[in-house]
Amino acid sequence: MRKSLRNSGTDSGKKGKKMAECLFCRIVSKKVPAKIIYDDERILAFEDINPQAPVHALVIPKKHISTTLDIEDEDNELIGLLFQTAGKIAKEKGIAERGFRLVVNTNQEAGQTVYHVHIHILGGRHMHWPPG
Ligand code: 5GP
Ligand code: ZN
C-alpha cells in the first residue's frame, strides 16, 4: 500500500495530537505510574491495570505507533523484538510451557481502547477459542 494512502493530511494531524496525550507514551516517559516488568531502550512491559487472567501484561514499543495499521517498514525489527520480548516475559512468568496467548487488538470493533500498539500477554488459566 502506498504511504500517501495510509497517511492522509487530516489523519497525521490527529496522530500528532494523540501522541502528546497518549496514555502509553505517558507511561514510557514515567509521567503515569505503572508496574514495570521489562524496560530497555526500545521496549517497555508492564502489568495491565485491569487483569483478565492471572498473568496479564502489556508489551509496547517506546516509539508511538497508533495501531498495527501504522507499522512502517522501518518498524519491522522493532515489532519482531516486541514479540520476542513477550515470549521472554512469558518464560519469566512461568506460563510458557503450559501456554499463553498474545493478543493485539486493532481499532474499535476488536476492542482497542489505547491507540499505542501493544501486545497483551495473557496466561495462567485456560484460554477459550474462539475468543469473545
Ligand atoms: P486494548 O483494549 O487497547 O487492547 O488494551 C488496553 C489495555 O490497557 C487494557 O487491557 C487496559 O486494562 C489497559 N490499561 C488502560 N489504562 C491503563 C493504565 O493506566 N495502566 C495500565 N497499566 N494499564 C492500562
Ligand atoms: Zn503513544
| Ligand 1 atom 15: residue of nearest CA | 49
Assess whether pLDDT exceeds 70 at residue 18: no
From the list 116, 122, 43, the residue with the least C-alpha distance to 85 is 43
Which pLDDT does position 11 carry in this prediction? Answer: 40
Which pLDDT does position 6 carry in this prediction? Answer: 40
Q: Which residues pair with 45 in a beta bridge?
A: 38, 59
**Active-site residue (options: 64, 116, 118, 120):** 118
| Ligand 1 atom 19: residue of nearest CA | 49
Residue 127, helix vs strand vs coil: coil
Q: Give Dmax (Cα) for the chain.
A: 47
Which pLDDT does position 4 carry in this prediction? Answer: 41
Residue 3 backbone phi and psi in degrees, to 5: -55, -40
Q: What is the pLDDT of residues 52-108, one digit of tens each?
A: 999 999 999 999 999 999 999 999 999 999 999 999 999 999 999 999 999 999 999
Give the pTM: 0.89
Assess whether pLDDT exceeds 80 at residue 8: no
Q: Is the CB of 23 under 6 A from ligand 1?
A: yes
Residue 38 Cα to ligand 2 middle (Å)? 17
Measured between alpha carbons, how far is 36 from 57 in angstroms, rounded to an integer? 9
